[in-house]
Structure formats: C-alpha cells, structure tokens
Amino acid sequence: MSVELSNESGLSAPEGMLIHVAQFALDQMRVNPAAELSMLLVDTTTMAHLHQQWMNLPGPTDVLSFPMDDAEPDGRPDAVEAAQTLLGDIVLCPEVAAEQAEAAGHSAEHEMIVLTVHGVLHILGYDHAEPEEEAEMFALQGKLVDRWYLSLKAQAKAEALGRRDTKLLRSVGLDAEGDG
C-alpha cells in the first residue's frame, strides 16, 4: 500500500503515524496492496477555501476526502484490476484537529489518527449523511482505530521481548543466531 503524504500546513504533525494508520486501515479493509493514496496536510486558510469550493460551506473543516471516481472497478477496491490505481486524496487540517482534540480532551495526534481513518473510509465510499450510515461508519472507524492501537502495542511488546532475548543471549556468550 503506497501512501504519499505532503505537509503544507506549517505545523509539526506525526506524519509517519498518519501514513501507517492509513496503510493499516486500507489493509484491514482488504484494499489491493498496489493501490495508492495521497494525503495533504494544510493550513486553515487553504482548508477554508477547499471547504467552500467543494462543500459550499464556510470556514475550515477537519478533513476532506476526494475519492477518484474511476478508481474502483466494479466498486471493489480489492479487485485484481485495482492494482496500481490511485484511490484518491485526503486533505487534513492539523490546526482544526488540534482545536477539536482540546475540546474532546485527547491529544492532537489521536485526533489526526481518527481523522485519517475517517478520510480513508470516505475514500472507500462510506458516508454519514443518514443516521444508519453514520452508525455504520463511526462504528467501523472506532474498530479500525482500536485495532491499530492494539497492533502498535503488540509490536512494541514483540520488540521489547526481542531486545530482552538478545541481551540474554549476549550475557551467556551467544549471538542472536545462537552460535558463539
């Protein structure tokens, strides 16, 4: 899964984590691994302009998604024919995300992670215009974010165990391959 991210917001952002969570969400949604996604982080002025231009709504918003109309043959991003296709673009505003995070009582990093997954789901055709759609999309979004955090914990645990094992092997005179 290729995710390209460009930060034009002028603010520091957890770019590696955003790429990783986008790739994770796409993988969990069984999108063809050859598919590509573009992410752009922008300032509030740029986001307000895009929000007005594309949604006819004033002021900046947190995230906008622009799926490619022809990116999914037969509506299936996991189809073999979807290889090498551009899924679309996600535009995220870190400043708006930080404001929302403060209001919600969690970190701006977490808010941007949630918004990235939200954007991925929009790219894949999910919406929240109707109550039933909203319930489905936000439940899936929550599950994906929770799974991603669990995968990070599992990875950290495995790395810690690996370091412990390497240290133990060295203390008894063996290298990591088990030979001296």
Residue stretches of the annotated binding site for Zn(2+): 118, 122, 128
Alpha carbon separation from 139 to 62, 123, 143 (Å, rounded): 19, 17, 6
Alpha helices in the chain (DSSP H): 15-28, 44-55, 94-104, 108-123, 131-171
d(CA 18, CA 4): 10
Put the strands of the sheet holding 63-67 in their side by side order. 2-7, 36-41, 86-92, 63-67
Report strand pairing: 63-67 vs 86-92.
antiparallel
Under 8 Å CB-to-CB from 152, ≥6 apart: which residues?
none
What is the torsional sign of CA 55, 59, 65, 67?
Answer: positive
In the annotated binding site, the residues are: 118, 122, 128
41, 93 contact by CB (below 8 A): yes
